[in-house]
Structure 1
C-alpha cells in the first residue's frame, strides 16, 4: 500500500510556502533583531480551514494563547503574523496585550476579522515586545506570491538557525493535483513534544478542520515529536496547518480512498522539516537518525528511538566519531520501553556492533570513517514484535556550549 501511495506523490524542488493555490507571503527586517529579517506574514486569499498543535510546556507564551483563541472561533485562519528575536514569553498581561495588538494591526492591514489572524513569536524569553518596531513593520509588509517573498518569510522566523527550512510536495487525489508546503525554524531547545520550533504548513486540499486536526496530530507524533536537540522544551512553539481548499478534490475523511495519500503528503512534509531542524541543531555537524525495528508496537519503538537519539553520551560519541556501542545499549535500557535485554541487535549504518546483545567483531576504522559522515544512522532490532519507529537529532559539539553560553549577550 505504501509503495502505491508514494507513487502518487512527487517532491517539488523549487516549491515553497506559497506554491499551494491561494497563498502569499512577506518578510522584512523591522529592527527587533540586529540584522536579518525578523517579521513575516502568510496570507490566504480566503478563510483557510486550519489546525494546530502546541508545545506541552505548562508555561506557554502569549502568542500561543492568542492563536488558540483565534482558532477556537471557527477553525479558520486567513493570516499568520510571526516575529523572531523576541519570544513574548513570561511577559504577563503586557505580553498578551502586545500579542493581541499584533493580531489587531494585521487584521486591520488585511481587512480581516481579528479571529482570522494567528500570532507566533520566537526568540529571547522575558523581554517586553518592542512594539514601536513591530507595528510599523506589520504595516510595511508587502504580500506577494513570488520565490523572493517566500524566502523573505522563511528568513523572518529564524533565531540561531544557520539556514532556512522549507519543503514542498504534490500528490494526485481524485485525479486533482494537491500541493502541500512547509516552512520551519528550530535549532536549539528542541525536545520531543516540541520546543523552540515553529512550523507552518500550507495546502490547497479540501478537508474540514476536525479531519485536518486528526491528521496533524497523527503525523506530528511520527515527525516533530521525534526530534530532540538538547532535551529542553520551550514555552512558545507550534505547528500550524492552513488549507485554501482550492484543489477542488472531494472532501477528505478517513473513509476517502485517498486518505492515506493525504496523510503521506503531510507526513513527508513534516518529516522533511523535522530532519532539517535536527540537522541544523545549534553547533551541530551531523544529523543522527535512529531506526528501531522489532518492538512490541510502534509506540515502544518510538520510545527507544528517542531515548537513543536524545542521549548526550550517544551525541558526543557521534561528534567524536567513536563507535561506542555501550552508550547505545545503555540508552535502550533506560528508555522505559518493553524489551528483551538478551535479543538486541544494533548497527551503525550497515556495520553490526551487537547481535543478541553480545558484541561482534567489526572494523574500528570502518566505523570511524562512517561516523565522520554528515548523516549517521543507528539501526536497532529489538526482536520482540513488529513495531517500528524513527527519531532524529544531532551531535553535541563544543559549539553548542559556546552558542548557548552567550545567547543573551
Structure 2
C-alpha cells in the first residue's frame, strides 16, 4: 500500500467541485459535488440516532434500493434535520436538479447536509449551487480539495486521504474526505464521510467491508459525546481500475479492506484532532483486555471523560481521572493489577502500577502531555484483546463555539 496525495478525485473516473451558494455562510464555499463518470456500487452506514435528518433517510433508500449511485451533493451550514415532510421533499428536489444537470437518474444521486438543526434549506440557493457544481466539476486534485473545503462547518482544516494498492497487476486507488468537529460521537452501525475507489467489487462485499471497518475507526472517536442526527459515511466503487471483480473474501478482498481501513482511520483521527476548540489529539489504547468488547468500552470511557479531557488541555498528569473513567465504564477488572502509561513521540512513562502511582517526574509528564498528540496506554493484564479510541482535549473555546453556534 502506498500513501498518496489527494482525496475523492484520486481514484479513476471521479470528479468533484466546491462552490459558494450562500446557504448560510457568505464569501466561502458551502456546497460540494462528488461525481463518477460511470455508475458506482454504493455502500453506506448512518447514524443510530432515532432522530434522523432527511438526507440520511434519502441516502439509506438510495443505498439499499437503487441499482447504482453516481453523484453526491453536499451542503454545509444547514443540516436539514427535524424539518419534516418539506425537508425530505427538498432532498428530492436537490436530486432532481442534479439528475438533470448531470444526465443521470434521480435515484443515483445521494445528498448530505451538515450544520444547524431545525432550519429549512433555502432550496433555490441549493439548486443554483447544484448548477454551479455541475458546470465546475473537474478531475483534478484541486477540485477534490475544493470539495473537502466546502463541507466544513466549524472544522479548522479540510480532511482528505488517499492510497493505492496492487490487485491483479493493476493499480487500485482509494481516496476520501470527511468533515466533523463538533457533535461528534459516531455510532453508525455531525460527521460526514465520503470514500471513492476505482476497485471492482460486489455491492454485498463493499457494504460488509464498510460496516465492519467503521466499528474500529469512526465509531471509536468522540469529541463531545453527542451522536449527530446526520452521521453518514458512504463508499462509491466504480470499477474503473480494471481488476477482476471481487466476489469472495479472497486475498484481493483483504488488500482492499486494509486500504479502506487506512482511509477510515486516518480521516477519523483527523476529525478527533480537529474537535471544536481542540489543541491536541487524545488517544487511548487498551491492551490485554479480556475481550474486544471490553477493550472498546474501556478506551472510549477514557477519551469521553470530560475531566480527563480537561486535564489533557491543562497538560496535567491527573491520572486518577483515567482510573475513574475506567472504573465507571461498566467493565469489571482488578485495579491492583492494571498499569498506566503516558506516551509521546519517542517516550513512554509509567504512571501507575500495583494499585498506586509510581515514582515519575511531573515535569516530564507535563512535557509529554503538551505535545499535539497525547497517548495513554492501559494494560489490563486480563487477556489478549485490544482497542484504540481517539478524542481531543476540552478547552474554553469549545464552550464559546457552541454557545452561539446558531448565530
Scaled to the shorter chain, the TM-score interval is over 0.9
Q: Does 1:54 pair with 2:46?
A: yes
Q: How many corresponding residue pairs?
A: 400
Alpha-carbon distance in structure 1 between the residues aligned to 2:355 and 2:194: 42
Alpha-carbon distance in structure 2 between the residues aligned to 1:192 and 1:19: 26
What's the secondary structure of 1:303's corresponding residue?
helix
In structure 1, the residue matched to 2:121 is 129
TM-score (normalised: structure 2): 0.96
Which aligned segments of 4 or more residues in structure 1 are displaced greater than 4 angstroms? none
Match of 2:89 among 97, 105, 126: 97
In structure 2, the residue matched to 1:118 is 110
Match of 1:197 among 191, 194, 198: 191
* CA contact 1:36–1:155 (8 Å) conserved in 2: no
Match of 2:325 among 320, 331, 351: 331
Q: Quick one: structure 1 residues 74 and 99, their matched pair in 2 at CA, closer, same or farther if it must change by over 3 Å?
A: closer
In structure 1, the residue matched to 2:6 is 15
Question: What's the CA shift for 1:371?
Answer: 0.6
In structure 1, the residue matched to 2:176 is 182
Alpha-carbon distance in structure 2 between the residues aligned to 1:339 and 1:193: 25
CA deviation map 1:289-337 (0-9, x unaligned): 1111001122211111111011001100000000011000111111122
* CA contact 1:75–1:209 (8 Å) conserved in 2: no
Q: Does 1:34 pair with 2:26?
A: yes
Alpha-carbon distance in structure 1 between the residues aligned to 2:175 and 2:124: 32
CA deviation map 1:15-37 (0-9, x unaligned): 22111011000110001122311
* CA contact 2:15–2:138 (8 Å) conserved in 1: yes
* CA contact 2:31–2:151 (8 Å) conserved in 1: yes
In structure 2, the residue matched to 1:109 is 101
What's the secondary structure of 1:20's corresponding residue?
coil
Alpha-carbon distance in structure 1 between the residues aligned to 2:312 and 2:244: 47
* CA contact 1:317–1:323 (8 Å) conserved in 2: yes
Alpha-carbon distance in structure 2 between the residues aligned to 1:31 and 1:234: 23
TM-score (normalised: structure 1): 0.96
Q: Which structure 2 segments of 5+ residues have no match? A: none
In structure 2, the residue matched to 1:241 is 235
CA deviation map 1:234-270 (0-9, x unaligned): 1112000001111122322453123222111000000
Q: Does 1:292 pair with 2:290?
A: no
In structure 1, the residue matched to 2:66 is 74
Q: Quick one: structure 1 residues 340 and 257, their matched pair in 2 at CA, closer, same or farther if it must change by over 3 Å?
A: same
Alpha-carbon distance in structure 2 between the residues aligned to 1:107 and 1:21: 21
What's the secondary structure of 1:201's corresponding residue?
strand
* CA contact 1:71–1:115 (8 Å) conserved in 2: no
What's the secondary structure of 1:258's corresponding residue?
helix
CA deviation map 1:163-201 (0-9, x unaligned): 100000111122221110010000001014169100000
In structure 1, the residue matched to 2:214 is 220
Alpha-carbon distance in structure 1 between the residues aligned to 2:14 and 2:244: 21
Alpha-carbon distance in structure 1 between the residues aligned to 2:355 and 2:232: 39
In structure 2, the residue matched to 1:268 is 262
Question: What's the CA shift for 1:273?
Answer: 0.2
Q: Which structure 1 segments of 5+ residues have no match? A: 1-8
* CA contact 2:46–2:189 (8 Å) conserved in 1: no
Bigger mean CA offset, 307-316 vs 139-148? 139-148
* CA contact 2:45–2:188 (8 Å) conserved in 1: no
What's the secondary structure of 1:106's corresponding residue?
helix
Q: Does 1:63 pair with 2:55?
A: yes
Question: What's the CA shift for 1:148?
Answer: 2.1
What's the secondary structure of 2:251's corresponding residue?
coil
Alpha-carbon distance in structure 2 between the residues aligned to 1:16 and 1:192: 21
* CA contact 1:29–1:38 (8 Å) conserved in 2: yes
Alpha-carbon distance in structure 2 between the residues aligned to 1:236 and 1:302: 23
